Amino acid sequence: MLSDRLLELGGLAQLQRIASDKSPWAVLATLLLIASVGVIIDYARMLWLRSKMPPGPLPLPIVGNTFQLPENKPWLWFEELSKRYNNPLVTVWIGRNPTVWINDAWSASELLDKRAGIYSSRPRMVVFAELGAGQNNMVNMYTMTPEQRERWRVHRKLMHHAVGSQQVRKYRQFQNDESKVVALDLLRDPADYVKHFERYATSVVSIIGFGRRVESPKDPIITEVIAVMHLAADLNVPGKSFPMLMETFPWLSKFPNAIAPWKHGLGKKRGSSFFYAVAEEAAKKEGHDEAFVKYLFEKQPEFRLNDDEIAGLSGNLFGAGSDTSSSTLVTFVLACCAFPETLKPAWEEIDRVVGPHRSPHFDDEPNMPYVRAFVKEVLRWRSVAIIGGQPHAPTQDDHYKGYLIPKGTWVQGNVWAIHHNESEFPEPDRFNPNRFFPSDPNNRPFPGEKGYMTFGWGRRVCSGQVLAEQGTWITVARLLWGFHIQKKKRPDGSVVDVDIFNYTNGLNMRPQPFECSITPRSREHKETIEREGRQALQDLEQYRGESKYRMSTFYHESSRALKLYGDKE
């Protein structure tokens, strides 16, 4: 850039003068002068860009607005800024780099959907990409050049084979069976509903990816992998503390881990990837030739996939399907407890269509419009990917409503603000499925046919969207059909209240733990749940299996093996 070139030329001239002057004070003064001139030039660049870009708070030199970011839930602050500046787009500076936050559905649709060809790339992401999987994972991949776009298309094509819209219809049988097992688990042990949801969601993607189900909520593939995902989601929230402070000061990421505790272990070179080992193990086992990992190894020579790419593609199934889907179901339970008036219309519709002697199946969906609206409201009311996943970046300078959005800028959709904009969703914190019916007074126009933007936009939309929607519908419908889900009563008759705002702070948010009551609606429903659950377990027996690998020991053992061969971390 021009400012960097001027600084370089000025620095060379000063260094020539330093060479003829031995005084350390003169050297120090000159270096301070060069630094000051560089900061002034760079700040002038920032202010010039600020005058061209969407409005936002005044950035400071070098640090931008980083230290104005709130400690928790920054998406609320971005929403507040949007209202303060009366603009759907706001610019917040993370260090020397601007980030544009979209707080309106129509602007998000215009930029990220209709201009998807421009906004399909990623910006520089120090924490999530450079210190993580980098360009071996399609979630992080740049598409700035034709070569990068082609590599990303290869990954998207492979992922589409696993969870494309036509492919996921083939998964309905075992997805339905796993949903029946959830109902059986809730009947036997309702207090651990969160663990049952995590087992269900993880088992579905494990069958798709590795050809084996997850039978127990204590299986390490759940307890360890989801814990790591929660940690990653927490660490990658835009903020003023480490490790995200490295986005403001990228040079801090260059320090070795041994002397850089702020890196939280990120960027540490290890042995072979855990997910590659799990994928290779499953690919070598006989049977279940439809498993995604077997397809990946079959296509490895054709698409020149390296080990890290196979690890990323197989691991992404868990990221796209386990934590997010289970968190959505926890939000569903919270909504039932907080807004019991929405349940009666669901019961009336389900009883009319299904009755107590069988649970809903996918063919019932067209006949249950209220349940379909209920699921939409679950996805809208408290979306899991609250800032729309990873940021987009334009591949060229773009202009929108007179504002400049420079090439490579971090552009992010604020799903919270979009789904809580009263122009589209009156009383946005009220859980109200009726808002999706055209005849309802709270119904408002919304871009796209779905009525929500839970899964992102354009070419970077969540790969597992159709799978997640399919699984959410059948499980919500089944649990509405079979159970009373309500606030828990204490022995003295008082009720344990719930807080609809008490959510985690990560990129994938979910309700903080809360107590509730989950009981069968009738004896007939209970008997049906037991009968169908037992049959589902028999049908799923073909997917029985277990991995020998544990994330908690894998990296320790692989690191030890590397040291035996003289390799250094």
CA–CA dist 300, 294 (Å, integer): 10
Residues 306 and 191 in one domain: yes
What is the span of the domain harbouring residue 19? 1-52
In a domain, 103, yes or no: no
In a domain, 88, yes or no: no
In a domain, 118, yes or no: no
Beta-carbon contacts of 142 under 8 Å, excluding residues fewer than 6 positions away, are 121, 122, 135, 148, 393
CA angle at residue 6 from 5 to 9, to 5 degrees? 85
Confidence at 16, pLDDT banded by 50, 70, 90? low
In a domain, 143, yes or no: no
More confident call, 508 vs 88: 88
Q: What string of H, E and C letters represents the secondary structure of 206-271?
A: HHHHHCCCCCCCCCHHHHHHHHHHHHHHHHCCCCCCCCCHHHHCHHHHHCCHHHCHHHCCCCCCCC
0.75 exceeded by pTM: yes
Parallel, antiparallel, or unpaired: how do β-strands 483-486 and 517-520 relate? antiparallel
Q: Is 462 annotated as a binding residue?
A: yes
- Domain end residue (candidates: 32, 52, 72): 52
Residue whose tokens read 């008082």? 494
- Domain end residue (candidates: 34, 52, 70): 52
What per-residue confidence (pLDDT) applies to 25? 83
Mean pLDDT of 435-457: 96
Residues 300 and 193 in one domain: yes
Q: What string of H, E and C letters represents the secondary structure of 320-332?
A: HHCHHHHHHHHHH
Q: Is 18's pLDDT higher than 80?
A: no
The three-class DSSP label of residue 5 is helix
In a domain, 208, yes or no: yes
Beta-carbon contacts of 195 under 8 Å, excluding residues fewer than 6 positions away, are 217, 222
**What's 331's domain CATH number?**
1.10.630.10
Structurally, the chain folds into a number of domains equal to 2
CA–CA dist 183, 200 (Å, integer): 10
In a domain, 355, yes or no: yes
Residues 356 and 488 in one domain: yes
Residues 43 and 154 in one domain: no
CA–CA dist 333, 487 (Å, integer): 10
In a domain, 94, yes or no: no
Residues 43 and 172 in one domain: no
In a domain, 119, yes or no: no
Q: Are 174 and 182 in contact (CB under 8 A)?
A: no
Residues 307 and 195 in one domain: yes
Q: Is 538's pLDDT higher than 60?
A: yes
Q: Is 64's pLDDT higher than 50?
A: yes
The three-class DSSP label of residue 22 is coil
Residues 178-199 have pLDDT tens digits of: 999 999 999 999 999 999 999 9
- Domain end residue (candidates: 35, 52, 69): 52
Q: Is 307's pLDDT higher than 70?
A: yes
The three-class DSSP label of residue 376 is helix
Beta-carbon contacts of 42 under 8 Å, excluding residues fewer than 6 positions away, are 3, 7, 61, 62, 96
Ranges 253-267, 411-425, 513-527: which has the least confidence: 253-267
The C-alpha R_g of the chain, in whole angstroms, comes to 26
